[in-house]
Structure 1
């Protein structure tokens, strides 16, 4: 510090004020850099939870894994190393135990809901929440009650002709092509089905044998979801991105949303005699215009890619295990004499079919990562331990389903584990919750089950499926959902009766 002595002998500080400010800032920064690691590792409320040192200090290792598409492998490795409960970021806890599903997602009397972690989900173009992102438990329940009738068993029975039509169109396309990319064929089918359901008209993907620009945008967006999540997570980066977002990106988001708006407006204006979404919901005037648009967009993403993904993965594992495929083929062809006999009700009674799909949901879950919740004000108890407000908690699906503590031979595709095989009597089946549980579980779960059973059965009833099984196919990146590789399959038509 510079100083001078006055004529009266006093010492006077001559350091410029700016230099003092800089020194204070540097001192505070040094104090933070020294004290924060001590706090994060030893004094933080989550310090007793196991996890890596870097992970306890920063979210950066997690973000790197997400953006590289390596999050599922990374998180599974974390659990294999540290156990069923892992602190994988300063304020994040991941679980792989069945009880965690209940503690995180259920809301018993006297307990506050663990709220949705909104920053995990990409914001809608109009800023209006949908069923997944609605932060208010009361509003979520209100909106869900409006849509619930469209997904009831009674409504699904009315909608069955729609599903049958596109299942048969899928089979017809398979006959024309001979060899197909199964991932693509199933995407075409599920998007056409959901467009008819949500908009009253098909996208025509099966007929055109090509993706539309709108659907292609969906897939392009999925790949950058982790980057969007990271930007949304931090207020500063969110603000900077809003200022610096490229015009082309903003236009793509807006065009995609406006496509939904145009189709919904057309459907609501023209009406439809078919039992689609808008003819089956309660006409109560509860939904705002913004909620109508955002939820229609939600159904077109959550109800399409996830179903196609599960069916592609299940097809792969059946082809990889020809003994399982034969058992399923014998069950389907032994039960039905024609395509028209394959009704929702009849397919629901096929034990091995249901077991194959459930095992597919275990080894290749539609949502392979986790959907986090946030502990509310006042804290909550998870797995017998109190957690402070703001802690993010989740059950990681792949890590849970591939845990030897939950499932014997966890990496093997074994439908028999769901059918009482004594070899797997100690499996913890309650740990398997691919559609989540509680008041915010998947509204379209029953629809998904009917669609999955129908599409897979139609393929197996009409074709002998063959492929050169690529053992590396299942080694895929994950950008929230699977970044599926092409799955070429030769479909040999067996001439099944219509």
Structure 2
């Protein structure tokens, strides 16, 4: 034997505990999963595996997540296989009829282990699993998210829209020449995606906490965070938030081992950087919560989400723990900004890619709004606040809502499989009995891109949401999930999208860098969009 071999054998002979530990690890991590696969206690081997080893390990799905196209690749694998086993205890569906069984109001399925292992010290409304606790939270928060309250807070949305318009005015260039399809490079000076994110963060902070972040005024997302020891630091909110989003989206999928994998991954520089930024994000809602709580304790009665969180409509305290308050502020700042920013970017992108549809929408807006008098138009030309369109004027416009919904269908801000767990007694899905404790779900893209449900699914066709066809398509619209666990913030999202879209289309024209330009999309827990540089100029409206 060579020297190295002698050393290893000598170490083993003197360290039997190390050898036993190593053997146990190999058995637990390799042999045991294989044995369980062949024992098949839940009868899942009858379903085709996503890959050769998907029935044994969650690693193949984690590898798929690293492509940045998790849902898109999954539905390709799903071709001719409506049910796939994507992990040892996970089934993925594409048949639209499964929506009712998995997500419908009558389902007994609960949120699966991904929400448990991804939660912080306290659950928030989006990740709480227990149905009674969810009902309690929803009762507390439903009044805050009720449409009548949101419309009362429209002035905050209008304020942020005007601040965005003020910046857009500064970026305006001369109109694009009619004989040119490609704008001059120096004229492409507005990153629409970034400014929509500034908008949604400023808006949700004001609506939720009466906090003026000032991102739209400064053109920067620098914000203060707070450590648990009370020390404060400065960070870039978007960078930290999206790093947290991305790291979780890469590693979450092995629920039993996620906590360990998440910590070990920090030893690798790429994940370590994401982890450090994610930790900084955790301190942002903590700092916002402490500052707003100080104002509440000082007796300020502010018309915002936080007030509804602290007291019921009769002024009785809800007596929430600090950890729960921070959790609710965290999901409000996260889900309340990320998804709507994605949606607002996507709709302008789709309209620029489909100019005939954009023309039709602008004509609808003009017909609805051109009864405003000339003085108001003159004021709007100089005053960005006068240029903001009232939600009440556009909320019932059918073609605008159809455009918003079609954009959400084509690229739902949260495309991935929202996992649900079958109850202990099991559940019937598509008439097939699934034992208890199995994770089931479907990516929204599986339905939204199903050509049997939506003909020509990859085309932007708003007309599919009009009239009877539109009513018939609603059960297959998963942009806000479905059932009792559907997104509670959909009303505020539509309000923000409608006000901003109507206001900017009335005031501006846009052009992408060139006709073939495509926006970059990477799938995290939501779509992570690249920059969207555009040329912008003031629209010349023809009045009668």
Q: How does the TM-score come out when normalised to structure 1?
A: 0.85
- The match for 1:255 is 283
For residue 296 of structure 1, report the CA deviation from its aligned partner: 1.0
Per-residue CA deviation, residues 78-120 of structure 1 (Å, 9 max, x unaligned), is 22x2433222222211222333222112353xx6342343447
- The match for 2:74 is 75
Q: Which moved more, 1:111-120 or 1:481-490?
A: 111-120
- The match for 2:6 is none
Paired with 1:87 and 1:264, the residues of 2 have a C-alpha distance of 46
SS of match in other structure, 2:124 = coil
SS of match in other structure, 2:91 = strand
- The match for 2:119 is 123
Matched, 1:290 2:284: no
- The match for 1:220 is 243
Output aligned runs, 1:236-315, within 5 Å. Answer: 237=260, 241=264, 248=276, 252=280, 254-270=282-298, 272=300, 274-281=302-309, 282=312, 283-286=315-318, 287-315=320-348
Paired with 1:228 and 1:387, the residues of 2 have a C-alpha distance of 26
Paired with 1:307 and 1:459, the residues of 2 have a C-alpha distance of 16
Q: How does the TM-score come out when normalised to structure 2?
A: 0.78
Residues 196 and 249 of structure 1: CA distance in aligned 2, closer, same or farther (over 3 Å) = closer
Q: CA RMSD in A?
A: 3.5
Residues 371 and 404 of structure 1: CA distance in aligned 2, closer, same or farther (over 3 Å) = same
For residue 216 of structure 2, the aligned residue among 201, 206, 212 is 206
Matched, 1:325 2:358: yes
For residue 469 of structure 1, report the CA deviation from its aligned partner: 4.6
Point out where structure 1 has 5 or more consecutive residues left out of the alignment.
Answer: 1-15
For residue 267 of structure 1, report the CA deviation from its aligned partner: 3.8
- The match for 2:145 is 151
- The match for 2:430 is 383
- The match for 1:92 is 90
The number of equivalent residue pairs is: 474
- The match for 2:228 is none
Paired with 1:248 and 1:235, the residues of 2 have a C-alpha distance of 17
Q: Which moved more, 1:66-75 or 1:337-346?
A: 337-346
For residue 156 of structure 1, report the CA deviation from its aligned partner: 1.6
Q: Which moved more, 1:436-445 or 1:294-303?
A: 436-445
For residue 259 of structure 1, report the CA deviation from its aligned partner: 2.2
- The match for 1:3 is none
SS of match in other structure, 1:173 = helix
SS of match in other structure, 1:483 = strand
On the 8 A contact 2:34/2:56 being kept in 1, the answer is no
For residue 457 of structure 2, the aligned residue among 410, 418, 421 is 410
Paired with 2:259 and 2:133, the residues of 1 have a C-alpha distance of 29
Paired with 2:22 and 2:522, the residues of 1 have a C-alpha distance of 47
On the 8 A contact 1:407/1:427 being kept in 2, the answer is no
Paired with 2:25 and 2:417, the residues of 1 have a C-alpha distance of 39
SS of match in other structure, 2:485 = coil
Output aligned runs, 1:36-51, within 5 Å. Answer: 36=36, 38-39=38-39, 45-51=43-49
Matched, 1:168 2:157: no
Output aligned runs, 1:479-494, within 5 Å. Answer: 479-494=524-539
Q: Which moved more, 1:277-286 or 1:434-443?
A: 277-286
Point out where structure 2 has 5 or more consecutive residues left out of the alignment.
Answer: 1-13, 173-188, 223-235, 373-385
On the 8 A contact 2:58/2:88 being kept in 1, the answer is yes
Output aligned runs, 1:122-141, within 5 Å. Answer: 122-124=118-120, 127-141=121-135
- The match for 2:477 is 432
